[in-house]
């Protein structure tokens, strides 16, 4: 209710009290003549009613006092008792049942004092038994409204927190998916460009002496480029897919043979274990880890002649990629973006990955990925 509505209620109460007293409407009460004091008391009760929501305690006390004075001065009618009832309801609705009970007890006490000392009645008369239940009902109704508002407010706050949590979760999921896509693009571009660079170097080297080998290298470049573009198309299409893992699973351990062609380097692939069925996400991560490891061999393993790839299947998929090359001077640490991306892939699935130089100056990547149903 707006302030205009409160003012209208207060004015309406003044009108009802005065008209009811002049026309003797409503329940019977004092029968004395209406005078200027009645108008003043009615206005006071009306103002208290209009301001009750801003000052519920003070306005209830004023309404009780105005009612007591009305009966004490013997003005016609009992409709002024509506003001304390409205005050009791408002106090309970605004401040809760404890404040409402206190206000109700105060109003009931005023009623008892009015009946006993103003109307010269007994402590427990029909007038008391008629008035006190009305006070209790107004207080109880206000307390019920307060509880309902509190419950609705709590439910609304809970719904807002839930919506915010879901929004945060959606944003985190979107960020994770974008990061996954970025990793996919890094792996695809890294592998493709490294392979193209090697084949282009071969073509330049043999172009004049063995043109047929140069043509073969150029055909290989075309094939690698086509495959890379196809993978990029799939990865970018994943941005519109609801299932990132399925949409980006263009790599597979079943396609490892396509990664093993490194000019001048003998790549040996060994598989150990009978159960070679792994979840899609593990299959994709393992493929990308092997792919990135071989890309690093092309880029940084100077003088490498041999690469061993070992895949062991049991309760965990164990991957080992070891080369015999020497660092080329452009990468002196094992914390680059490529290795960081591989480690992030493994840890996301609950696995581990280590990368370090071997005793003979080669380089080794070791990874373990759990094979379980929640990685599907």
- Cα–Cα distance measured from residue 127 to residue 115, given in angstroms and rounded to the nearest whole number: 7
Q: Is-contact 344 183, C-beta < 8 A?
A: yes
Q: What is the pTM of this model?
A: 0.50
279 pLDDT above the threshold of 70: yes
66 pLDDT above the threshold of 90: yes
The reported pLDDT for the residue numbered 351 is 92
Q: What pLDDT, in 10s, does the model give residues 81-133?
A: 899 999 999 999 999 989 999 999 999 988 888 877 676 666 666 667 678 88
- Cα–Cα distance measured from residue 257 to residue 262, given in angstroms and rounded to the nearest whole number: 11
Q: What pLDDT, in 10s, does the model give residues 4-45?
A: 888 999 999 999 888 888 877 766 666 677 888 999 999 999
Band the pLDDT of 3: cuts 50, 70, 90: confident
């Amino acid at each position: 209710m707006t302030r205009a509505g409160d003012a209208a209620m207060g004015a309406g109460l003044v009108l009802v009290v005065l008209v009811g007293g002049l026309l003797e409407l409503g329940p019977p009460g004092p029968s004395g003549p209406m005078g200027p004091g009645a108008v003043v008391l009615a206005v006071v009760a009306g103002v208290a009613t209009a301001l009750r929501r801003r000052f519920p305690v003070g306005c209830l006390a004023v309404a009780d006092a105005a009612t007591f004075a009305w009966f004490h001065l013997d003005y016609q009618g009992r409709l002024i008792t509506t003001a304390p009832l409205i005050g009791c309801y408002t106090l309970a609705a605004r401040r809760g049942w404890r404040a409402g009970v206190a206000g109700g007890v105060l109003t009931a006490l005023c009623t008892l004092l009015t009946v006993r000392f103003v109307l010269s009645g007994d402590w427990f008369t029909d007038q008391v038994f008629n008035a006190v239940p009305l006070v209790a009902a107004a207080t109880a109704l206000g307390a019920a409204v307060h509880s309902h508002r509190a419950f609705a407010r709590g439910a609304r706050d809970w719904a807002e927190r839930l919506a915010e949590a879901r929004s945060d979760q959606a944003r985190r999921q979107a960020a994770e998916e974008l990061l996954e896509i970025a990793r996919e693009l890094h792996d695809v571009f890294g592998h493709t460009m490294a392979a193209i660079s090697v084949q282009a170097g071969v073509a330049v080297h043999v172009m004049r002496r063995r043109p047929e080998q140069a043509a073969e290298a150029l055909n290989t470049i075309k094939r690698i480029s086509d495959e890379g573009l196809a993978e990029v198309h799939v990865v970018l299409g994943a941005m519109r897919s609801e299932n990132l893992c399925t949409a980006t699973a263009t790599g597979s351990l079943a396609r490892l043979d396509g990664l093993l062609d490194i000019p001048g380097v003998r790549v040996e692939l060994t598989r150990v274990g009978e159960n070679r069925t792994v979840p899609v996400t593990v299959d994709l991560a393992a493929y990308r880890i092997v792919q990135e490891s071989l890309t690093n061999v092309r880029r940084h393993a100077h003088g490498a002649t041999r690469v061993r790839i070992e895949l062991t299947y049991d309760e965990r998929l164990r991957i080992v990629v070891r080369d015999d090359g020497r660092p080329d001077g452009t990468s002196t640490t094992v914390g680059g973006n490529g290795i960081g991306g591989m480690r992030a892939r493994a840890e996301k699935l609950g696995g581990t990955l280590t990368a370090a130089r071997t005793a003979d100056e080669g380089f080794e990547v070791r990874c373990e990925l759990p094979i379980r149903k929640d990685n599907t």
